[in-house]
Amino acid sequence: MPQLTPVEWEALNLSLHVAFWNVIVSLPIAIAVAWVLARFEFPGKILLNAFVHLPLILPPVVTGYILLILLGTKGPVGAWLNSTFGIVVAFKWTGAVIAAAVMGFPLMVRAVRLSMETVDQRLEATAATLGASPVMVFLTVTLPLILPGILAGMILTFAKGLGEFGATITFVSNIPGETRTLPVAIYTFLQIPGGEASAIRLTVIAIVLSLLALLVSEMLARRTTRRLRGLDA
């Protein structure tokens, strides 16, 4: 494959940067939400679960528009962030991170929740009766058992962040070097004469990265299944 141009490298590096921070931002919140959904019964649980998975159903452009309304410089949250802390996320790479995190959040929550639901809660109860605090029970018993699910969720969320387009371009637009991620760059190259070669190169890269992510996620899922069968035996 021909060498990438500086503009193509810029889009690829930005996408990797956005996808990485998307995972970091999503991870602790996703684990907490997955824990609540997997371990507790409460009024409104179905509504919370539906809200968490809403980005998977809504058109990405709608999600991006909602983010723009809320986090834009004139939105309620965005205006407060700007006036209080001087933080602006709309039309910035940080906004691209937020858009990717929102779109990938359901995937991470689902992967972690499914992993948590396979954990034998008797193991957690035994650790608690031995004097371990809830935090220590989670860190020493639950976390090691759900680690494959967490890793799978991280990988899927990373891949989703690499491929996010609709919410990103709606919320942070198409600014070279700032918000022009890999899929946005592909779209841009398709709109200009002679840009097909660049679009093809970036498309191949996107396909390869996505396939690698899916393969690693599948390997982790199979490892979890073998481990659970071993425990059942």
Question: What domains lie within the chain, and their CATH numbers?
Answer: 6-232 (1.10.3720.10)
User: Are the CB atoms for 175 and 124 separated by under 8 Å?
Assistant: no
Query: Whole-prediction pTM value?
Result: 0.89
Alpha-carbon dihedral sign for residues 20, 84, 165, 160: positive
At 120 the pLDDT is: 84
Question: How many other CB atoms are found less than 10 A from the CB of residue 109?
Answer: 26
- What is the rounded distance in angstroms from the CA atom of residue 188 to the CA atom of residue 180? 9
Residue 152's pLDDT band (cuts 50, 70, 90):
confident
pLDDT at 210 over 60: yes
Mean pLDDT of 17-35: 95
Average pLDDT, the chain: 90
User: Are the CB atoms for 72 and 78 separated by under 8 Å?
Assistant: yes
Residue 68's pLDDT band (cuts 50, 70, 90):
very high
User: Are the CB atoms for 22 and 101 separated by under 8 Å?
Assistant: yes
Q: Which of 14, 18, 22, 27 is nearest to 152 (CA)?
A: 27
